[in-house]
Amino acid sequence: MKGPVSFGFLFAFVFIIVKMAMHFGGLFEGNILPTSFLNILLLLLAVAVGLYQYIRNREAAYETLLQEVKQGLKPGIVYTLLVSGFLFLYYNNIDRSIIETMQQQRIEEFSKGLQNPSTLAEIRKSNEAFELMTPEEILQEVKSNVDQFISARSLFLMSLMSLMLLSIIYSLLVAIIYRNVLFRK
């Protein structure tokens, strides 16, 4: 594997190894923020190092900004696909406790609102289907919605979209910075 794409693979595997080491080491259990920030940093590094390597080794003396952004997107997309796929497998097969905890928190928050008469009236007013239901029936309906919304599949889609958007933004910003600061002519 040559070129910028190899850095997408490299940094994705670094993330996977660190995430699994944190899991087996028991670090940050139930907290996804540290690994989320690490994920964002490694994506930036994949784009920046991949684009740097491409610019240093290219034959043409000058390329357009769009061509450089495209080269920066290559490691970003590879990183995005590998990490998003891994996160789906991780939260679906390895550590379901985080998703289950998030689901329970949402259900508990909603059930507290059902115990308050004014909040219950607002909930019934906001959704016509809830007007004739008892609080228990409303809670059962909300549980099924929460189970569908907070799942490994939805986490996969959210991580895929957010990392894809970050790849585009990072590619554009890194290409502009490299053009105007590092490789200025």
Average pLDDT over residues 4-11: 95
- What is the rounded CA–CA span in Å between residue 53 and residue 70? 14
Ramachandran assignment for 105, one of left (phi > 0), alpha (psi -120 to 50 degrees), beta (any other)? alpha
Question: Is residue 176 predicted with pLDDT exceeding 80?
Answer: yes
∠ CA 151-8-21 to the nearest 5 degrees?
A: 60
pLDDT digits (tens, 9 = 90+) for 153-174: 999 999 999 999 999 999 999 9
CB atoms closer than 10 angstroms to residue 53: 17
- What is the rounded CA–CA span in Å between residue 84 and residue 78? 10
- What is the rounded CA–CA span in Å between residue 92 and residue 104? 17
- What is the rounded CA–CA span in Å between residue 80 and residue 156? 10
- What is the rounded CA–CA span in Å between residue 68 and residue 75? 12
What is the value of pTM for the model shown?
Answer: 0.87
Question: Is residue 1 predicted with pLDDT exceeding 70?
Answer: no
pLDDT digits (tens, 9 = 90+) for 120-131: 888 888 888 888
pLDDT digits (tens, 9 = 90+) for 132-146: 888 888 888 888 889
Helix axes of 5-25 and 33-57: crossing angle, nearest 10 degrees = 160
Confidence label for 185 from pLDDT (cuts 50, 70 and 90):
low
Q: Could you tell me which of 80, 91, 89, 99 has the C-alpha nearest to residue 39?
A: 80
pLDDT digits (tens, 9 = 90+) for 59-109: 777 789 999 999 999 999 999 999 999 999 999 999 898 899 989 999 998
